[in-house]
Amino acid sequence: MPSSTDSRAAAAVAVVAGTDEVLAHRAADERLLSPVERVRAARFRRDSARRDFVAAHLLARICAGLLLDVGPSAVALAQRCGDCGQDGHGKPYLPEHPATTVSMAHTPGVVAAATATGGGTVGIDVELAARRPAGPDLLARALSGNELRQIGRQDDPQAMFLRQWVRKEAMVKAGRADLGALHELDLSGMRLGPRRRSGGDATWVQRGRFEALHVLDLADERLGALVSVVSSAPVHLSVLPSPAGAAHSM
């Protein structure tokens, strides 16, 4: 994964990390969670699921802090559901920074977050690369006809489906697609992966465009995860900041 640079020069920033490494970070203090987040976290029956939830919500604060040049303790995170209008779940936002948008995602053992400035849109999704399989019904609901034909020609159709699924989930979070009509969003014109891989390394980053949106795709071998970020601005992929630096900024 690329090393971190001055994220303030980027209009959008994304961070992907393991759940354990986020929770072990000195800046990732569970006391930063709001009362609503703590209640939701306590409802998980499996501790691993609770840890993923907590890590994602803390990473969203860390990621936003990178762009805003503040520590995560200075980032208030809230959520509001666009369907029911209730707070506490749904699309995340920063009440004290309305021009900064944020998105987060988690899968077993891996969390991801992205943020953008200037009132732009951003969405991120992450899935384990080993996730299998998708049945015919899911394929038909999630893919356009062009995508079904495109994926059917691949050596590993399930892997290629997962790449498009992660992209589409990120599109939903960015407000570009509807979860109930994923088959209407045709991404068949986008590359499914890099044409070349140096040294057989399964870790790669690919940048592309869909209409006016910037799309960053990541396959992270270390974490065993696929990630997609969709943003109205170019995305800078950062690493989890060092504990010493994060502690200093808090």
Asked whether 97 and 68 are in contact (CB, 8 A), the reply is: yes
Question: pLDDT (tens digit, 9 = 90+) per residue, 175-184?
Answer: 999 999 999 9
First to last CA, the chain: 25
Instruction: Please give the pLDDT value at position 234.
Output: 94
Mean pLDDT computed over 125-154: 92
What are the structure tokens assigned to 66, written together? Answer: 């990178």
More confident residue, 86 or 230: 230
Mean pLDDT computed over 137-152: 94
Task: Evaluate if residue 196 carries a pLDDT over 50.
Answer: no
Task: Evaluate if residue 86 carries a pLDDT over 50.
Answer: yes
Instruction: Please give the pLDDT value at position 233.
Output: 93
Question: pTM of the prediction?
Answer: 0.89
Q: Which pLDDT band holds residue 85 (cuts at 50, 70, 90)? A: low
More confident residue, 90 or 95: 95
Task: Evaluate if residue 198 carries a pLDDT over 70.
Answer: no
Mean pLDDT computed over 8-28: 88
